[in-house]
Amino acid sequence: MARFKGFNTIGQHKKFTLTDRDLVIRDLLNALNIREGELPGKPEFGTGIWNYVFEPNLPETERRIVAEMQELIDADPRIVADNINAFSQENGIMIELRVRVLPNVEPETLKLLFNEESNTAEIV
C-alpha cells in the first residue's frame, strides 16, 4: 500500500497518480523548476540555484549551490540527502545527489541538470 499519494500531469497520458518515491522525486523537481519568488502567495518557495548558472565556477559558488540544495531537501521530510555535489556544465549546472526517500533506507544517486537552454531542471 502506498504511503504517499499525489497527482501529476507532467509526462503522464492517462494515469495521473504518483505514489511514494516517484511522487517525492516529482515534487523535488517541481520545487527545482520554480525560481525563488515566482510562486504567487509563497515568495519564499522555490530555489535560487538558477542565479548561479552563469556564475564563475569557484568553490564559493559551489558551496552556495550545495547549501541551497540542502535547504530545499531539508524542507521536505520525505527525503534525506546523504551527499550533494555540484559541477559546472557546458549549458548549466549538474548536481549529483545521494538521497534516501523515506521510508526506504537504501540510498540512490540522482543526477539533476539545471539546463539553461531549456530553462528546466531535469533528471539525467
pLDDT-based confidence at residue 4 (cuts at 50, 70, 90): low
With cut-offs at 50, 70 and 90, classify the pLDDT of residue 18: low
What mean pLDDT comes out for the span 6-16? 59
DSSP string, 16-34: -EEEHHHHHHHHHHHHHTS
d(CA 97, CA 118): 21
CA dihedral sign, ordered 62, 24, 22, 108: positive
For 21, other C-beta atoms within 10 Å of its C-beta total 16
Q: Alpha carbon of 101 to those of 18, 87, 91, 94, 104: distances in Å?
A: 14, 23, 29, 20, 6
Rounded CA-CA distance 63/117 in Å is 24
- Is-contact 86 93, C-beta < 8 A? yes
Domain range enclosing 36: 5-123
Counting the structural domains of the chain, the total is 1
Q: Say how many C-beta atoms besides its own lie within 10 A of residue 95's C-beta.
A: 23
pLDDT in tens, 39-72: 889 888 889 998 888 888 889 999 999 999 999 9
Q: What CATH number is attached to the domain comprising 33?
A: 3.10.450.40
- What average pLDDT is seen over the chain? 84
State mean pLDDT over 78-89. 92
Which residues lie closer than 8 Å to 87 by C-beta, 6 or more apart?
93, 94, 95, 96
Give 92-110 pLDDT, tens digit per residue. 899 999 999 888 778 999 9
